[in-house]
Amino acid sequence: MASRLQALKVKPPRLGLRRRGVERREPARAEIDFGDRPAYLEDYIKRAGEELGEEPELVEKPSPDLKRAKHFNVIYPVGGGVFIHAYTPKDPNEPFNIYAVVEPPRPSPELLRLMDEALAYAITEEHTPKSAEEKKAILLSLIDEIVVPVDEAPDYRGLLASGRAPKRIPVKRDEVDYLKYHLVRDKVGVGVLEPFLRDPYLEDITCNGVGPIYVVHKIFGNMKSTAGFKTDEELDDFIIRLGEKIGKPISHARPVVDATLPDGSRINIVYGRDVSLHGSNFTIRRVAKIPISVTQLIAWGTFDERIAAYMWMMLREGMSVFICGETASGKTTSMNAIAAFIKPTAKIVTIEDTAEVVLPHPNWTRELTRDTGRPETSVTMFDLLRAALRQRPNYIIVGEIRGAEGNIAFQAMQTGHPVMATFHAADLTRLVQRLTNPPISVPKTNLDSLNIAWFQSAVYTKTGLLARRVITVNEIIGYDPASDGIAAIPVFTWDPVNDRFLFAGRGSSYLLEEKIATMRGISKRDVKIIYDELEVRAAYLRELVRQKVFEYPKVFKAIVTADRLGVEEALRRLRSGQLSF
C-alpha cells in the first residue's frame, strides 16, 4: 500500500463529466494560495516579536544592502505559503545568524496516517503521471475527492481505532489547505528540504548529521536553520526515501551517491555511521534553472566587460578554455555565462556527471554519466567524451574534468575539437601539476593544445564582503624545454586593493595577434584592428549593463543581434534607442 502511494503511478482522474450526472469539477490548483499574510504568519510574527524584542519586517525580497548590516530581522516569501525569517539572534554567544522556516501548520499525525490509507485505496493502476507538475495536480485532485470540509475538528484517533479506513475523511475547513501543502511537500516534493529549494537566495544546503541544517545565503552568508533531524533513524529514513525519489538508491553497500534533485540542484549523500562518524550527511549545491548572464556577472564585479569581450572573440574562433578555481568559486556559473558567446549555430555536446550546464543554443546534445556501481553497466565521463569525438561537434563542454577523461579532452583539442571545461586548480602551477600527473597524465608537450586558463576564486573585497572574482586569465603559449615548464601570459589580472581588473594592454595578447589575427588574414602592421574590435565589444557589453539587460535569454539575443548587424552598428542602435531587449 505504501509503495503504491509513494509511486503515485496514476492516470489523471477525469476532471470533467462524472459517469452519472453532469457535475463539472474544476482542475486541481497546482499551487495553493494562502494569501499575502496568512493567519499562521501573523501568529509567527507576533511570537518572534516577543522573543526578539522587535517584530520582524515583512519584505518582498531581502535587499542586497543587508549584506553590510550587522543586525537584521526580516521575513520574505518564497512561494507556496512558505516564508523565511532571517535574523540576528539576541544571544551574543550564538555565532550563527538564524534562518527560520515558516510553513503552514502541520496536521496531526493521525490525520496524515488516515490520508495515507485513503490515498492508497484511491490510487489505481491506470494512474501514470508524466511530470512532477502532473503528479502534484493528480494528488490535489485525489485529496479533493477524499476530504470533506467540516466546521469542528473530528476525532482522528477514534477513526484510527475503529480499524476501518474511511474513503471520505472529515477535515476542519481552515486546515484543508494546510493538509494539501504537507501532503504535496512530502509525496511530490522533497519533504523537509522543500522550503530550502524554494528559496532562490540559497547557494548551499548542508546537513552534517543529527541536528540543524546549515545554509549559505547569498545576502546573509553562513546561517543555521531551525529545521533539521532529531534522530539517526529519522535522518536515515529521509535519505533512503530521497534516494528512491531521485532514482539513486542508497544502502550500506552503496553509501556514497552524487545525484541531481528535481529542481536541478546537485546533491552529495553519505549514508551511515560506518563511513561518516557523525552519521548520514548530505550537501546540496544550488543550480539556477536559468543561468546568470554575462552582463549580470559584470554588474556584480565577477569580471569586467573587457574580459567578457575577450572571451567573446576567443569562443567565436574556437579556442579551448579551462575555467579553474577552488570549490564554490563560481566556475560553473561563469562557464554557463560565457558559453552564450559560442556561435548560435554551433553544434555543442555537453558531458556531465550531474546536470549543471545550461545553454541557449538549439543544436545542443546533452550527455550525462550513469553510475550503477558496476563497471560493466556504468557510463563514465571517459566513455561519453570518447563518443563525443564521433559526433562532429563544434564545441565540447565538460562539466568538470577530474580523471582519465582529461587525456581524451586534450586528444580532442589536438584533433581540432575545441573544449571548454571546469577544473579544480587554484593557479597555473597547480593546473599543470594536476594535468601532468596521474590519473590525468597529459604530457607537458601537449599542454599548448589548451589556449586559455581562467582562474577564479571566492575572495574578500575591500568592503569586507565575500565575492567571486576572476583572479587571472592566462594564455598558454606552449612548452618551454629550457625550463621544463609551460610558457603563459597573464592577459588580465585582478587588483585586490582597488577591486578592479588590469589589462596587460595592446601588444600583450599572443592569441589575439598570432591566432585570431592570422585566422582573419590581418597583417602584423594592422593588428591594432583586433584590439579596436575588443574595445567595441567591451563598449557594447558595457551599454547592455548600463541599460540593465541582465536576463540570460535577452543577453543571448543581444549577442546574436550584434553578430547579425555587426558590433559597431548594434552599439550605435543600442545607444540611440533603436535596439531594445
Please check the confidence at residue 15 and state whether its pLDDT lies above 70: no
Domain that holds residue 495: 294-525
pLDDT of residue 20: 31
Domain membership flag for residue 228: no
What average pLDDT does range 25-36 have in this prediction?
Answer: 59
Q: Are 267 and 260 a contacting pair, CB within 8 Å?
A: yes
**DSSP 3-state of 373:** coil
Interatomic CA distance for residues 282 and 191, integer angstroms = 14
Q: Which of 286, 72, 77, 321 is nearest to 197 (CA)?
A: 286
Enumerate helices (H) and strands (E) in the chain, giving the number of each: 19, 21
Q: Are strands 364-368 and 485-495 parallel, antiparallel or unpaired?
A: unpaired
Residues 171 and 304 in one domain: no
pLDDT at 10: 38
Specify whether 149 is located in the same domain as 298: no
Residue that is last in its domain, among 146, 161, 192: 192
Predicted local confidence at residue 17, as pLDDT: 30
Residue 30 is predicted with a pLDDT of 53
Which candidate, 223, 207, 221, 190, places its Cα nearest to that of 284? 207
In this structure, is residue 111 part of a structural domain?
yes
Q: How far is CA 284 from the centre of its chain?
A: 9
CB 16: neighbour CB atoms within 10 A? 10
pLDDT-based confidence at 2, cuts 50/70/90? very low
Which residues lie closer than 8 Å to 515 by C-beta, 6 or more apart? 317, 319, 451
pLDDT at 156 over 80: yes
Asked whether residue 279 is domain-assigned, the answer is no
Q: Calculate the CA dihedral of residues 538, 544, 546, 549 and round it to 10 degrees.
A: -150
Residue with cell 517584530: 55
Predicted local distance difference test score (pLDDT) of residue 67: 87
Query: Which is more confident, 424 or 35?
Result: 424
At 353, which CATH number? 3.40.50.300
Cα distance between residue 279 and residue 506, in whole Å:
57
Exposed/middle/buried for residue 52 (C-beta within 10 Å: 0-12, 13-18, 19+): middle
Is the domain of 16 the same as that of 150? yes
In-domain check, residue 394: yes
Domains of the chain: total: 2
The mean pLDDT of 230-257, rounded to a whole number, is 92
What was the pLDDT predicted at 127? 62
Give the bridge partners for 367, in sequence order: 351
SS3 content of the chain, % helix, strand, coil (to 5): 40, 25, 40
C-alpha cell at 70: 550587522
Whether 177 and 314 share a structural domain: no
The answer as to whether 223 is a domain residue is: no
Considering only CA atoms, which of 327, 356, 507, 502 is closest in space to residue 423? 327
Taking 80 as the threshold, does the pLDDT of residue 130 lie above it? no
pLDDT-derived band of residue 31, with 50, 70 and 90 as boundaries?
low
User: pLDDT tens digits for 378-420?
Assistant: 899 999 999 999 999 999 999 999 998 999 999 999 989 999 9
**Cα angle 209-229-264, degrees, rounded to a multiple of 5:** 80
The share of the chain scoring above pLDDT 90, in percent, equals 70
Mean pLDDT of 2-12: 42
The Cα–Cα gap between 421 and 188 comes to: 34
Query: Can you give 188-200 as a three-state secondary structure string?
Result: CCCHHHHHHHHCC
Query: Parallel, antiparallel, or unpaired: how do β-strands 202-207 and 281-285 relate?
Result: antiparallel
- Count the neighbouring beta carbons within 10 Å of the beta carbon of residue 534: 20
Instruction: Examine the pLDDT at 262 and tell me if it is beyond 70.
Output: yes
Rounded CA separation 55/47 (Å): 8
Task: Verify that 160 and 298 share a domain, yes or no.
Answer: no
Cell of 87: 535574523
556 found inside a domain? no
270 part of a folded domain: no
Q: In terms of DSSP bridges, do strands 211-217 and 202-207 run parallel, antiparallel, or are they unpaired?
A: antiparallel
Whether residue 320 lies inside any domain: the answer is: yes
Q: Are residues 184 and 298 in the same domain?
A: no
**Residue 210: exposure state from Cβ atoms within 10 A (0-12, 13-18, ≥19):** middle
Domain boundary pick from 507, 525, 543:
525
Distance CA 269, CA 371 (A): 14
User: Which of helix, strand or coil describes residue 412?
Assistant: helix
Q: What single-letter amino acid sits at 70? A: K
